[in-house]
Amino acid sequence: MAMADHDDLSTDSAPPWDEEPAERDENTADIFGGPPAAPVAEEARPVVEDPPAETGDAYTVLARKYRPRTFEDLIGQEAMVRTLANAFSTGRIAHAFMLTGVRGVGKTTTARLLARALNYETDTVKGPSVDLTTEGYHCRAIIEGRHMDVLELDAASRTKVDEMRELLDGVRYAPVEARYKVYIIDEVHMLSTAAFNALLKTLEEPPPHAKFIFATTEIRKVPVTILSRCQRFDLRRVEPDVLVKHFDRISAKEGARIEMDALALIARAAEGSVRDGLSLLDQAIVQTERGATVTATVVRDMLGLADRGQTIALYEQVMAGKTKDALEAFRALWGFGADPAVVMLDVLDHCHASAVSKALGPDALSMPKEQAARLAAIGAHTSAGTLSRLWQMLLKAHEEVRRAPDAMAAAEMALIRLCYAADLPGPEEALKALRDGAPIGGGGPGGGVSVGGGGSSGGAASAHAPMTMAAPGAQAMPVLASFDDVMALIAAKRDIGLRLDVEQYVRPINFRPGALTFEAAPGAPANLAGRLVRFLKEHTGQPWLVAAEGGGGAESLMERQKREEREALEQIKKDPFVASVLSAFPGAEIVEIRKVLTPEAAPLEPDEEEG
């Protein structure tokens, strides 16, 4: 025993008397009644100030703050609300719902409202209802996402089939508190094929206490077998005028002052999405100091948009055929940093707006009244056919600008082409002019409209004006001695329609100065003689007698040309070399005959002649 004690004392550990005394609690009295220990000086510690108290709650963005709490708060979805109300009143409630639409249109919000409506219950209401103005027993828990019978999940994070099976294992159990067990699956198109197949069996034979609500932006990626078992609701884009009124109400509640034109710009940029529009409105409110008015210019700068007034002016110059002014306006936009593709896209929008205002009036345009009036004026003075052709040309021009190595050069060439074509008559106007015997030229009813008044040098209007002869005192009128002279005069005046009709349908019988008699070929226009009379009188200065007889005329120019071509073809076929080629290649045909011009020999230089 003594050895054991000796071994314990011989250990390497320090003796008890050499150990540091244990730290004493200053709040504990000495067991032997001694004086309390002196307080030990504490080391200096950095002073940590408490964080300043917040003046209010954390800011909530407008998209969350004004999220609809009832079906009445949903804007632009009246058809869906009406369908649900009728289904609830008749008891014909589907077991699965499919909500689809663009981003920010309210799919997830509608799904939560639908979950509340299915489980709505108050002291007086004991069934599903779309009237959620009074908060029910389960509404608060569903809104806060803590109701045990309403499961909301994102399909993007649960794409595997095992996760879907685990979720569906609880479907067979009855709800704990609410009327239905509701499964809200957002972005359902993200599920894998195996997960869809696992879900399919439950959708085929669902228990009566389970309801499924799906939401997706890519409805085409959802299998047809799933869609066929769901009641589908397509949430529409919200119209810009509805968005403007909605944003105006929210701005008033927030105490912000924003111009209506600025709200119209935000609604246009939102593209039918309420959430996107509220996010832009949130950004627009902080563009100015508190209490100041947010103008359309500020919002336009915020959105990075080119001034629509300048692009409308560019469109007006294009429609007037003012090439010089249009190019200068485009270069001014280019100098301000505008993207040529965006400028062409704006001109496309203006063309569309002109066509819409022509059909529905300027009130149908979702833009400021002054701009709508300018575009409506163009639409009122331009034919629908011209606007349609301009639209097609602008589509091609926009594609060219996007693909061209030099976007600015491509845009300028497109503007030159548009200015040139804006003053040209369309096919329908040309046919009408031919039928009436009027000369074909620019500036007609279907041509460009002069917007803003005044002409411009270099414009297309002057280039396409009909040619007229000078006064008799200034220049002598041509004298026509034969029918060939008539054809030469028509060709010189570039009356293409009359020239084609005369070559095809006029078979000359008799000609003398001031009188022409011809036989009309089959299919000739009824007003051909009258058109010839007006043309000859205008360009010769004397009256003409043109009559169409029943027969006895010679060949028309086109008939003679075709006969000569046939004779030339037969003559070539008789050539021994050509005949041997045709016999060597059975089935070969002579398609076209071309005359090859032999180039003249260049004169020799003096040094070459000497050599």
State the Cα–Cα distance between residues 524 and 530, nearest whole angstrom: 12
Q: What is the pLDDT of residue 197?
A: 86
In this structure, the answer to whether residues 187 and 265 fall within a common structural domain is no
- 18 part of a folded domain: no
Q: How many other CB atoms sit within 10 Å of the CB of residue 176? A: 9
Query: What tens digit of pLDDT does each residue of 72-91 get?
Result: 888 877 888 888 888 888 88
Judge whether residue 597 has pLDDT over 70: no
Pairing of strands 210-216, 181-186: parallel
Judge whether residue 42 has pLDDT over 50: no
For 182, the domain range is 62-234
Query: What tens digit of pLDDT does each residue of 473-532 get?
Result: 445 667 777 888 888 888 888 888 888 888 888 888 778 787 888 888 887 888 888 888
State the Cα–Cα distance between residues 109 and 242, nearest whole angstrom: 18
Domain boundary, last residue among 250, 268, 303:
303
Query: What tens digit of pLDDT does each residue of 390-421 get?
Result: 899 999 999 999 898 998 999 999 999 888 87
State the Cα–Cα distance between residues 582 and 602, nearest whole angstrom: 37
Judge whether residue 4 has pLDDT over 80: no
- 259 part of a folded domain: yes
- 15 part of a folded domain: no
In this structure, the answer to whether residues 319 and 444 fall within a common structural domain is yes
In this structure, the answer to whether residues 71 and 184 fall within a common structural domain is yes
- 76 part of a folded domain: yes
Q: What is the CATH number of the domain that holds 416?
A: 1.20.272.10
Q: What is the pLDDT of residue 1?
A: 44
Q: How many other CB atoms sit within 10 Å of the CB of residue 315? A: 28
- 522 part of a folded domain: yes
Q: What is the pLDDT of residue 36?
A: 53
Query: pLDDT band for position 107 (50/70/90)?
Result: confident
Q: What is the pLDDT of residue 90?
A: 85
Q: What is the pLDDT of residue 66?
A: 84
- 492 part of a folded domain: yes
In this structure, the answer to whether residues 342 and 432 fall within a common structural domain is yes
Q: What is the DSSP string of 505-523?
A: HEEEEEEETTEEEEEEPTT
In this structure, the answer to whether residues 172 and 121 fall within a common structural domain is yes
Query: What tens digit of pLDDT does each residue of 264-303 get?
Result: 888 888 878 888 888 889 888 888 888 788 888 888 778 7
In this structure, the answer to whether residues 327 and 448 fall within a common structural domain is yes
In this structure, the answer to whether residues 353 and 381 fall within a common structural domain is yes
Domain boundary, last residue among 258, 284, 303:
303
In this structure, the answer to whether residues 169 and 133 fall within a common structural domain is yes
In this structure, the answer to whether residues 170 and 91 fall within a common structural domain is yes
State the Cα–Cα distance between residues 181 and 151, nearest whole angstrom: 8
Q: What is the DSSP string of 217-284?
A: S-GGGS-HHHHTTSEEEEPPPPPHHHHHHHHHHHHHHHT-EE-HHHHHHHHHHHTT-HHHHHHHHHHH
State the Cα–Cα distance between residues 419 and 314, nearest whole angstrom: 11
In this structure, the answer to whether residues 284 and 262 fall within a common structural domain is yes
Q: How far apart are the first and last CA of the chain?
A: 141
Q: How many other CB atoms sit within 10 Å of the CB of residue 386? A: 26
In this structure, the answer to whether residues 218 and 150 fall within a common structural domain is yes
Q: Which pTM does this prediction carry?
A: 0.51
State the Cα–Cα distance between residues 62 and 276, nearest whole angstrom: 10
Contacts by residues 140-147 (CB-CB < 8 Å, ≥ 24 positions apart): 142/112, 142/115, 142/116, 143/69, 143/112, 143/116, 147/119, 147/177, 147/178
In this structure, the answer to whether residues 78 and 218 fall within a common structural domain is yes
Q: What is the CATH number of the domain that holds 285?
A: 1.10.8.60
Q: What is the CATH number of the domain that holds 75?
A: 3.40.50.300
Which residues are CB-contacts of 399 (< 8 A; sequence separation ≥ 6)? none
- 442 part of a folded domain: yes
Query: What tens digit of pLDDT does each residue of 536-572 get?
Result: 888 887 778 887 776 666 777 877 778 877 887 788 8
Stretch 169-179: mean pLDDT, rounded? 86
Count of structural domains, the chain: 4
- 120 part of a folded domain: yes
**Higher-confidence residue: 291 or 38?**
291
